[in-house]
Amino acid sequence: MAVQASSAKRLATLLLAAVSMYGPALLAQETSSQLVSMEDWPAWLVEAMGRESPAHHATPVSIADRGLRTEIHGEDIQDLQQQSLGWYLTSAIDAVTPIECWIFTSPVDRAATVRNITQLNVNASAKLNGDVINRDIFSLDSGMIGRSPYLALETVFSMGSEDKTVVGFVKVRLAGRDGVQFACSHNQVGFRQTFARVFEHFVNSATFEASATQPFLRQVHRQSVNGLAIGLIESTYAIDADGDFALTSKESNLMPQNGSDVNSTDNYDYAFWKPDGALINQVHVSSENGQQVTNLNLQPAGQSMYKLSGTYQDQDVELVFEDGNGPLSDIELMLETQRMIADPARESMSAKIWRATIDPTRFIETSLTFVPEGRDELRAVASVGPINLSVQLDEFGQMKSAVSIIESINVLVERIYREGEPPTINSDE
């Protein structure tokens, strides 16, 4: 089973996987969120887009799950309705349509949820006003609200017929942390800042019981393709109840398709390692548009042997391969980079890792080499399988910046949040 990079979508996936593998990045490059210009819009529509609502009082909201408490601005707050994955409520903001909100206390695919809520709103409008004539992604964004990473998608569309056209405008935001996700939508032209303000307070005012295992390091990276912020990676490093290292990485991307819709990708990576660096197992799960397509488990299968089993792109996979040294853990990769930085005579390092998004059937080679006269500034070139990156390291052996350009696709990952401190060779040795 070979992994090919024949399409722009697959190439972008490979680049994202390569740029993000070392951890956080921070790149001084502007990202754009708005894809549609209003210059040619009729004056009445431009005016409607500028409508906002004054601030409303905050109403307390509480649920039994994890003792959650929060607040939402607005009027006529409907009682919470319990649904399969969480809770639902609405709030009026002086607009014709209310804001709809969800609190998910069970796991959801973040990118797919944003896409699905958008589609539900478009379908509901079309049912009342006629078929969708035209549809465009108005804006796409990702970032942080307090300690919570968020995704945001706005869609503008027209319905009806040539004789009578109705314009719809759907705004969707989702944010969360520690196993709880908050989402809201509003389906009416305008009220963009009002909606963002209500959602921000809804998320920031939330308190709830922490999960049993808390990480010693948590980081969020924003991913951009050709200057457009398309998604996020949230990574946590913890020590589990058995004293082993546990890494959880959740990647959520919304990739525009022909300017009218987005494809959602939600990737999950779980890795467990003994304190001495020995692999226990790694799991990679991937969903596209809410449908799981990959679920792989990698684990040792004897001396220098490893077993890969599960499904890949809806095909069953079961194979055993041999590799003398095995893959390096993410933490050991970080520490080895610190050792390279600390040794004045050392200009490079290399290791083998497992990255299912690049090639799940083998361990791939990764290397890091200082550029000429770049040691003092910690500038280097990294290779991850077939992909090369220009990087700027920090003192923790992680990337401050990384960028790769292939076939007119420019991918960067920027660190936008960090809690805790990475392990260091001083504490490790």
CB 416 within 8 A of CB 143: yes
Per the prediction, the chain carries an average pLDDT of 89
**Phi and psi torsions of 203, nearest 5°:** -80, -50
Query: Does residue 163 lie within any of the structural domains?
Result: yes
Query: Does residue 29 lie within any of the structural domains?
Result: no
pLDDT band at 172 (very low <50, low <70, confident <90, very high): very high
**Residue 3 reports pLDDT greater than 50:** no
Query: Between the ranges 35-44, 77-86, 147-156, 325-334, where is the mean pLDDT highest?
Result: 147-156
Give residue-wise pLDDT tens across range 243-290: 999 999 999 999 999 889 999 999 999 999 999 888 999 999 999 999
Half-sphere exposure of 224 (CA within 13 A, CB side): 26
**Residue 20 reports pLDDT greater than 80:** no
Q: What is the chain's length?
A: 429
pLDDT given for residue 17 in this prediction = 55
CB 145 within 8 A of CB 175: yes
**Phi and psi torsions of 400, nearest 5°:** -80, -35
Query: Does residue 187 lie within any of the structural domains?
Result: yes
**Residue 14 reports pLDDT greater than 60:** no
Q: What domain range is 88 assigned to?
A: 43-204
Residue 46, amino acid: V
Strand partners, 158: 134, 167
Q: Which of 268, 422, 413 is nearest to 336 (CA)?
A: 422
- String of DSSP letters for 177-221: ETTEEEEEEEESSS-HHHHHHHHHHHHHT-B-PPPSS--SEEEEE
Query: Does residue 74 lie within any of the structural domains?
Result: yes
Instruction: Report residue 209 as tokens.
Output: 């019981």
pLDDT band at 27 (very low <50, low <70, confident <90, very high): very low
pLDDT given for residue 385 in this prediction = 84
* Count of structural domains, the chain: 1
Q: What percent of the chain is modeled with pLDDT above 90?
A: 66
Query: Does residue 24 lie within any of the structural domains?
Result: no
Q: What is the mean pLDDT of residues 53-61?
A: 91
The lowest-confidence range among 134-138, 363-367, 394-398 is 394-398
- DSSP E strands, 56-131: 58-62, 69-73, 81-82, 86-91, 99-104
Query: Does residue 324 lie within any of the structural domains?
Result: no
User: CB 171: neighbour CB atoms within 10 A?
Assistant: 25
Q: What is the mean pLDDT of residues 169-189?
A: 97
Query: Does residue 407 lie within any of the structural domains?
Result: no
pLDDT given for residue 309 in this prediction = 97
Give the domain CATH number at 153: 3.40.1000
Query: Between the ranges 21-25, 147-151, 303-307, 420-424, where is the mean pLDDT highest?
Result: 147-151
Query: Does residue 232 lie within any of the structural domains?
Result: no
CB 309 within 8 A of CB 294: no
Give residue-wise pLDDT tens across range 344-387: 999 999 999 999 988 898 999 999 999 998 999 999 999 988 88
Residues 6+ apart with CB under 8 A from 134: 157, 158
pLDDT given for residue 7 in this prediction = 42
Residues 6+ apart with CB under 8 A from 72: 58, 59, 61, 89, 91, 101, 198, 201, 202
pLDDT band at 322 (very low <50, low <70, confident <90, very high): confident
